[in-house]
Structure 1
Amino acid sequence: MEKLFYPAIFHEAEEGGFWVSFPDLPECLTEGDDMQQAYEMAVDALGISLASRKEDGEIIPKPTEVNKIDAEDGILVVVEFDMMEYQKKHNSRAVKKTLSIPEWLNEEAVARGVNFSQVLQEALMLKLNIGR
């Protein structure tokens, strides 16, 4: 999954700052003291919402085209989100995997001090065309 771009509506709050809603994700709401903080909070809220949907096996909706959104009394802003970067930042705990390799290859790798976990991670990232 590459970068995603979701439309958000930034509403001026009565007490100052902004509150943010996403037309495609009704559960995704946040706020900030100013536009910059509201945008940063919107990126985080979008990440939590999309990652939660992905984890629960729910459909991740396609972003609505911006020309089809009525911003009403707010400001329409497109929020950029990178699922891979979010996963790296928030879901990097180690997972134990069991695998099998030929005995001779294991002996040679152990003799040369190969870090199996590192080699597997590098090979998987290469195979999946994922940069570090």
Structure 2
Amino acid sequence: MLNLTYLALLEPGEDGCYGISFPDLPGCFSFADNLAEAEQMAAEAAELHIYGMERDGEAIPEPSTSLSKDITKDMLVMPVTVHPDLYRMKRDNERVKTNITLPAWLKRMAEEKKVNYSRLLESALLEYLQLPTANK
């Protein structure tokens, strides 16, 4: 399993809130209402950002081990460890809602037989795509 530790910059705002950014992950930003929430929000943002980069075929940047004083001025620096492999497995195995269109007579017959559409469609797709059922 791959674990990556990125340095997050926390910019203090009014009322104890924080803006969160990652110099190594351009475009990755988050927000937290307080310092306790900042760690969780930073990890979620980084994992989602890396997941998106992987899906887009982009290279994942190596984490920096230190940041210059110019970048960190007036900021808090927090190491954030992410687990891209675990996050990918979680996201790729989430159930998603899918709408289908059927003839009315077929839907009535299926309802009479109490067909579980999700289970039936999943099984049919696995068979059609010639995938082993263990990949569910």
TM over 0.5: yes
Name the counterpart of 2:80.
79
In 1, Cα distance between equivalents of 2:62 and 2:35 = 25
Name the counterpart of 1:91.
92
- SS of 1:26's partner is coil
Name the counterpart of 2:6.
6
In 2, Cα distance between equivalents of 1:31 and 1:49 = 14
Deviations 1:55-87 (A, max 9, x none): 101111111122x43311111111010012111
Name the counterpart of 1:38.
38
Q: Does 1:117 align with 2:133?
A: yes
What's the TM-score once normalised by structure 1's chain length? 0.68
In 1, Cα distance between equivalents of 2:39 and 2:89 = 21
Question: What is the root-mean-square deviation of aligned Cα atoms in Å?
Answer: 2.2
| Letter paired with 2:130 | T
Question: What is the Cα deviation at residue 9 of structure 1?
Answer: 0.7
Name the counterpart of 2:58.
58
Aligned residues: 103
| Letter paired with 1:98 | Q
Name the counterpart of 1:24.
24
What's the % identity of the aligned pairs?
Answer: 28
Task: Name the structure where helix makes up a greater proportion of residues.
Answer: 2
Question: What is the Cα deviation at residue 47 of structure 1?
Answer: 1.0
In 2, Cα distance between equivalents of 1:36 and 1:80 = 16
Question: What is the Cα deviation at residue 45 of structure 1?
Answer: 0.6
Q: Contact 2:16–2:35 at 8 Å: present in 1 too?
A: no
What's the TM-score once normalised by structure 2's chain length? 0.66
4+ residue runs over 4 A deviation:
none
